[in-house]
A and B are shown apart, each in its own frame.
Chain A
Amino acid sequence: MYLSSLLDKVCVCVCSVPPKLSGGSATLHSINPPRLLVLALAIALISASTGLPFGPSNQAHASPNCNTGRPSGFGYHWAGSVRSDSYVGGVYAYIENYNRPYVDPSAAPVTMWSMLDNAGAQGQRYAQIGWWEDTGQNRYLFTEYTNNTWTGSHWAYQQQIYWNINPLNGFSYYSVYHDNTPGYFTMLYNGQPIALGQAFFSPTEAQILGETHSLKSQMPGGYGGTNGANHAQVTYANVWVGGGWQPFAGQPVDEGGLWGLQGWSTTAFDIWDKACSS
Chain B
Amino acid sequence: MKRRLVLTVATVTTGVVIWGGATSQGVPWRAAQADPDTSPMAGINSRTFRSAGYQVTPPSADDRKAAVVSRDEAVTTVLHHGQDTYPGPDAKVREAVLVDVSDSLGFHCLCWAVSVLPTRGIWSHAGPAGNTQGRARGDYSVWFVDASTGEALRTLEGNLEP
Contacts and interface: CB of A to CB of B under 8 A. Distances in A.
A136 B82 CA distance: 9
Interface stretch (A11-19, A92-100, A157-165): A157-165
B135 to A, nearest CB: 7
B131 A157 contact: no
A264 to B, nearest CB: 21
Interface stretch (B27-35, B59-67, B121-129): B121-129
B126 A128 contact: yes
Interface string B68-96: 00000000000001111110000000000
A179 interface: no
B155 A126 contact: no
A113 B159 contact: no
Given A135-B85, A159-B125, A160-B52, A76 B131 contact: yes
Mostly, the A contact residues are strand
A111 B52 contact: no
A194 B103 CA distance: 10
A154 B154 contact: no
A149 interface: yes
Nearest to B152: A163
Interface string B3-36: 0000000000000000000000000000000000
A111 B125 contact: yes
A32 to B, nearest CB: 19
A138 B126 CA distance: 16
B129 A78 contact: yes
B161 A149 contact: yes
A108 B85 contact: yes
Contact of B124 (A80, A157, A164): A157
A191 B154 CA distance: 19
B69 to A, nearest CB: 15
A157 B85 contact: no
B158 A157 contact: yes
Interface stretch (A23-31, A195-203, A265-273): A195-203
B129 A194 contact: no
A45 interface: no
Contact of A193 (B51, B105, B126): B105
Interface of B: 48, 51-53, 81-86, 103-105, 124-138, 151-159, 161-162
11 contacts: A109-B125, A119-B130, A123-B132, A124-B131, A144-B125, A149-B159, A159-B158, A161-B157, A164-B151, A197-B53, A198-B51
Given A164-B152, A205-B128, 13 more contacts: A123-B133, A126-B128, A136-B82, A136-B85, A142-B125, A144-B124, A151-B159, A158-B159, A159-B138, A159-B156, A159-B158, A160-B154, A196-B105
